Amino acid sequence: MHFDILTLFPSFIEDNPYFKHSIIGRAIEQKIIKVRAHDIRKHSRNKHNKVDDTPYGGGAGMLMTCQPLFDSIKAIKKKNKGPVIFLTPQGKQLTNTRVRELAKNPELILLCGRYEGIDQRVRDELIDEEYSIGPYVLTGGELPAMVLVDAVTRQLPGALHDDESALEDSFSRKLKGKKEYPHYTKPANFKGLKVPDVLLSGNHAEIEKWRMKNLR
């Protein structure tokens, strides 16, 4: 899966240790995913490389302008044939079901907004899908893009040590979209806090029954 991320801060993605370690780092090393960041500013034709301007009609803040966004998206679309996704609090909630759908694409283009957002004409003309990572406002789309990359990568074959674990995570089909049951590890008795007896019983049918009853 190839992710091309359009941003005003490519180093937030390229230099991020989050993409160098653990599951995501391994997925990159094993070429299960490729993550490339592209600087939108490089496409600005303004003599000061400006990428933002004041909103028509007034109001607070600045907006990312059409020209650098049109040019950078068009340039990346020559190499990446996947849908163009804009991360925005106004988008559809990024649920596990949507993450599983996104994981079916061999390529994705992710656009990170900044300031008060982007000119509506970019959304109308060039954006295929819009996702929010939650009902709150962040400073930019880079963290949401990284969240999407992480969640999608976990769905790809070979990304997790045990492919089964994504199938049994919270919101999975096996758990009927519900949240996972409580987990315990050794010791069985920690300062008087005991693990439920059924989990120590070795009776797999009973354990499964207990787990399904304790979904949250």
Ligand X SMILES: C[S@@+](CC[C@H](N)C(=O)[O-])C[C@H]1O[C@@H](n2cnc3c(N)ncnc32)[C@H](O)[C@@H]1O
Q: What angle do CA 114, 85, 163 make, to 5 degrees?
A: 115
- Candidate list 68, 119, 123, 154, residue with the active-site label: 154
Binding ligand X (rule: CB under 6 A), the pick from 9, 129, 140, 215 is 140
Residue 89: active-site member: yes
| Distance (Å, whole) CA 119 – CA 64 | 6
Q: Cβ closer to ligand X: 139 or 189? A: 139
Q: What one-letter code names the amino acid at 213?
A: K
Instruction: Point out the catalytic residue in the list 14, 53, 107, 116.
Output: 116
Instruction: Check if 154 is active-site.
Output: yes
Interface map 74-103 toward ligand X (x if CB under 6 A): -------------xxxx-------------
Structure tokens at 40: 């939108």
Question: What is the biggest distance separating any 2 CA atoms in the chain, rounded to whole angstroms?
Answer: 72
- Contacts by 16-20, CB closer than 8 A, 24 or more apart: 16/146, 18/146, 18/150, 19/146, 19/149
| 25 close to 19: Cβ distance less than 8 angstroms | yes
Check: CB of residue 134 under 8 Å from CB of residue 187: no
Part in contact with ligand X (CB under 6 A); list of ranges 7-15, 19-27, 114-122, 178-186 = 114-122
For the question of residue 45 being annotated catalytic, the response is no
Q: At its nearest, how many Å lie between ligand X and the CB of residue 132? A: 4
- The reply to whether 133 sits near ligand X by the rule CB under 6 A is yes
Question: Residue 60 contacts by C-beta under 8 Å, 6 or more apart in sequence?
Answer: 116
Q: Count residues contacting ligand X (CB under 6 A)?
A: 19
Q: How far is the CB of 72 from ligand X (least distance, A)?
A: 14
For Cα atoms 141, 142, 147, give the angle at the middle one, nearest 5 degrees: 95
116 is catalytic: yes
* 3-state SS, residue 74: helix
Site for ligand X contains 146 (CB under 6 A)? no
Task: Give the interface segment with ligand X, choosing from 40-48, 126-134, 186-194, 195-203 (CB under 6 A).
Answer: 126-134
Structure tokens at 64: 């990312």
Q: For residue 118, give the DSSP letter.
A: B
Q: Which of residues 4-63 bind ligand X (CB under 6 A)?
A: none
Contact between 68 and ligand X per CB under 6 A = no
Stretch in the footprint of ligand X (CB under 6 A) among 101-109, 130-138, 170-178, 203-211:
130-138
Catalytic (active-site) positions = 89, 116, 154, 169
Task: Give me the residues that bind ligand X (CB under 6 A), please.
Answer: 87-90, 112-114, 116-117, 132-134, 136-141, 144
